[in-house]
Amino acid sequence: MDLNDAGSPSATEAGVAARAPGPGPQTPATEPMPRADRAGADAGQSAVPAPVASASAAARDPVGSLCALAIAAQRAQRHQLARVLILRAIALDPGRAQPHVVLGLMLHQAGRLADATVSYVRAIELEPTHADALLNVGIALEQQGHLDAAAAALQRTLGLRPDDAEAFYHLAAVHVARGDPARALGAVRRALEINETPATRSLFASLIRNLAGAPLLHELRGFVTRALAEAWGRPRLLAPVATTMIRQDARLAPLIARAVAAWPARLPFDALRAAAGLEAIFADPLLVALLESTHVCDRAIERFLTAVRCALLAAAEDSHASADLAQAGALRFCCALAAQCWINEYVFDVTDDEAARVTALAERVASALRAGEAVAMLPLVVVACYRPLHTVITPEMPGGAWPEPVAGIVRQQVHEPLEERQLAASMPRLTAIDDEVSRRVRAQYEQNPYPRWVRLEQPWQPTTLEQWLRQTLPSAPLAPLSARDGVDVLVAGCGSGQNPITAARTLAGARVLAVDLSLASLAHAKRKTRELAIDTIDYAQADILEIGSIGRQFDVVDTTGVLHHLGDWQAGWRALAAVTRPGGVMRLGLYSERASAGVVAARAFIAARHYDSTPEQIRRCRQDLLAAGDPLLAYVADYPDFFSTSECRDLLFHVQEHRLSLPQIKAFLAAQDLRFLGFAVDAAVMAHYRQRFPDDPAATDLDRWDALEAEYPALFGRMYLFWVQKAGPPATP
């Protein structure tokens, strides 16, 4: 039972852990909350399901009943009452371990990690074999950066409970933070083998994405394939480990190397067929899962796929070769490649010869459909690898019932774009868009939904805002939040809907308003929201600069990767702070000046050569940047954004961009009376900071973070992602 569950616990339930939601949007994975004794205060004690413990139960075990009542009060967010009850339990029997564990759990959930550790340690002193106290203290020590002590506590837990999947997970996280991927890999694999549940699958996904360089990675190929296909985590975050596995595959690695060596020439169809390469490609489920889930962010694999696509084009032009490939199982792979090209918005290089041949093939397919003639599936799908099918065929064209998997490609490239155009036409508009920069930014994002996506991670059990923040930022100096029913969320600059959907799934009682300038992105977001059967999100077009005119206030404002594209980023931030309730929180993502050297150099290269932001020019520019021989220019290919047309446009061709420093952010926070809560960074970065600055356990000193970034300019990737809280007492119900 979660501490969020409805109803009150019995005394035997007094120690069950609350679990965290899954990874938040564009953040490191959140971790499971601590848990107390699952076996109950005393083994064999009968349950007391009433809202309050019965008189008979209280008489038999007053301490256990007080623990149960304290948990019930904590679950109802009556924190003062919970503390009074648990302190009374300790006073009644100071030598009993369980009340100290429950007190530790309360302190842990309140972000008081050091105090929670003291309570857990006291419980262990009283009962050295209390496995949950050992697990909880291990989690608290891990979150404070005391990695050796955390590992020791977790190992002791596993000595008592060898099949504790959660202990293995946290031990894996400790190994990652300590730079020991081999041990981390073994621990996370063991957690999954013990108990494959939505929780353990998500935990596997959150850790495996940091282990691309681990030894024996190939042993997890099946798990990673499933993680992508079933969206155990966000596919984009799983892609690096999948590409590593593909590049290391004994069958595919030689083919990839040959394609790269031949570049910019394409490997001919006969060369791939003679090497039995096509059969190896068609039969690889991990490659298919990657292609269908998210865009491939690897230069070598992109060149390999570009060569394979050209070989398939040659086969599609030859009816005999096309039939042979269809029999060899090419259609399934070709549909996956068409899905990949749709997801990346046809960013792969195209020669003039290929373009002319595709035009002729597309006309042949369209003419046959218009005439009601039978159309071979492979040529149709090869066309979809080069251009959207909605530019070639229409829903009204006769074609009969398309067989799977071709029907999926027709649906993705013909029917879904039509639905999105209809949704865009009826999208509500909340504010005027009068600012000139806002108008130019809007025009840029109308060219494609930004970013285009297919799958999101599986949802978790919703949790309260306060619990989610405590789990995400366990050491944050978080002031009390509103006790209002539900939570009002504004996603300002919602793009194609990933963040509002995640908020609606994660936060219990969330009422989400998601706004953006781009109708194309809003329509994509609304279609995906309908697809997932979510009815708690309202989408509308609006300019952040005018958001105050809607007359609403919010508990959470999420604006990630948005403010730096306004003409006046400070005015936009002030406008959003003004609609944040007192005591409310904001999540922000802002570009770092220090981390942007490669992008700045690439933009100078682009300006000097007068590329424009059309798809054709973006494709040519990408190849020229990689061929320039300048490591600083090639560095931009380390960004995932480089590997899709709209995201590359956003990265290198944006019409408006600010890049900031931490001193600028610190000054703005002080001027607006906003409290810095912490950065969303991975465990290794946080461990490094705490090792360097042990006297800042909350990790909120922006001057020290600035000093660390000066030493490691890529510390934050390209974007500072962080939380702040608005001053003032929270609103009352």
Q: Does residue 131 sit in helix, strand or coil?
A: helix
pLDDT(32) > 90: no
Q: What is the distance between the alpha carbons of residues 733 and 423, in angstroms, rounded to a whole number?
A: 36
- Quick one: pLDDT band at residue 484, thresholds 50, 70, 90? confident
Give every strand in the sheet of 487-492, ordered side by side.
537-541, 510-516, 487-492, 554-560, 580-591, 719-726, 674-679
Which pLDDT band holds residue 628 (cuts at 50, 70, 90)? very high
Neighbours of 59 (CB within 10 A): 10
Average pLDDT value over all residues in the chain? 88
DSSP 651-698: HHS-S----B-HHHHHHHHHHHTEEEEEE---HHHHHHHHHH-TT-TT
Q: Which residues contact 352 (CB under 8 A, 6 or more apart)?
A: none
Tens digits of residue pLDDT in 508-548: 999 999 999 999 999 999 999 999 999 999 999 999 999 99
List pLDDT tens digits, range 336-374: 999 999 999 999 999 999 999 999 999 999 999 988 888
Encode pLDDT of 185-210 as tens digits: 889 889 989 988 887 888 788 888 87
pLDDT in tens, 48-94: 333 444 555 556 889 999 999 999 999 888 889 999 999 999 999 99
pLDDT of the residue at 275: 61
- Do residues 170 and 30 lie in contact, with contact meaning Cβ atoms separated by under 8 Å? no
**CA 701 from centroid of its chain's CA atoms:** 26
Q: What is the dihedral of CA 343, 344, 348, 352, to 10 degrees?
A: 70
The rounded distance, in Å, linking the Cα atoms of 150 and 136 is: 10
Q: Which residues of 233-268 are buried (b: 16+ CB within 10 A; e: fewer)?
A: bbbbbbbbbbbbbbeebeebeebbebbeeebeebbe
Chain segment 446-482, per-residue pLDDT in tens: 999 999 999 999 887 898 898 899 888 888 899 988 7
- CATH architecture for segment(s) 436-594+659-726: 3-Layer(aba) Sandwich (3.40)
pLDDT value at residue 276:
62
- Angstrom distance (rounded) from CA 276 to CA 715: 43
Task: Take residue 544 and report the two structure tokens written for it.
Answer: 């952040």
* DSSP type of residue 84: H
Q: What is d(CA 678, CA 661) in angstroms, rounded to the nearest whole number?
A: 16
Predicted local distance difference test score (pLDDT) of residue 709: 98
Angle at 325 between CA 320 and CA 328, to 5 degrees: 135
Residue 130 has pLDDT above 50, yes or no: yes
User: How many angstroms from the chain centroid is the CA of residue 535?
Assistant: 21
The model's confidence at residue 1, banded by pLDDT at 50, 70 and 90, is very low
| pTM score, whole prediction | 0.85
- What is the band of 9 on the pLDDT scale with cuts at 50, 70, 90? very low
pLDDT digits (tens, 9 = 90+) for 136-175: 999 999 988 899 999 999 999 999 999 999 999 899 889 9
Structure confidence at residue 8 (pLDDT): 30
Which of 441-445, 479-483, 583-587, 682-686 has the lowest average pLDDT? 479-483
Per-residue pLDDT band for 219 (boundaries 50, 70, 90) equals confident
Q: Which residue has the tokens 């989400």?
A: 512
pLDDT in tens, 95-109: 999 999 999 999 998
pLDDT at 550 over 50: yes
What tens digit of pLDDT does each residue of 238-277 get? 999 999 999 999 989 999 999 999 999 998 877 777 666 6
CA dihedral 652, 654, 657, 661 (to 10 degrees): -20
Asked whether 636 and 599 are in contact (CB, 8 A), the reply is yes
Q: What is the pLDDT of residue 474?
A: 85
CATH topology identical between 11-204 and 436-594+659-726: no
Residue 22: per-residue pLDDT = 31
Higher pLDDT, 657 or 461: 657
d(CA 305, CA 346): 12
Q: Is 572 exposed, middle or buried, given 0-12, 13-18 or 19+ CB atoms closer than 10 A?
A: buried
CATH of 11-204 among 2.120.10.30, 1.25.40.10, 3.40.50.300, 3.40.50.2000: 1.25.40.10
Mean pLDDT calculated for residue range 302-312: 95
Confidence of residue 128 (pLDDT cuts 50, 70, 90): very high
On the question of pLDDT at 7 being above 80, the answer is no
Rounded-to-integer distance, Cα 329 and Cα 279, Å: 8
pLDDT at 397: 77
Domain positions in the chain are 11-204, 250-283+295-400, 436-594+659-726, 595-652
Q: What is the arithmetic mean of pLDDT over 295-308?
A: 96
User: What pLDDT sits at residue 401?
Assistant: 80
What pLDDT is stored for residue 2 in this prediction? 28
Reduced to 3 states (helix: H, G, I; strand: E, B; else coil), residue 429 is strand
Three-state DSSP at 488 gives: strand
Euclidean distance between CA atoms 436 and 622, whole angstroms: 29
The type of residue at 155 is: Q
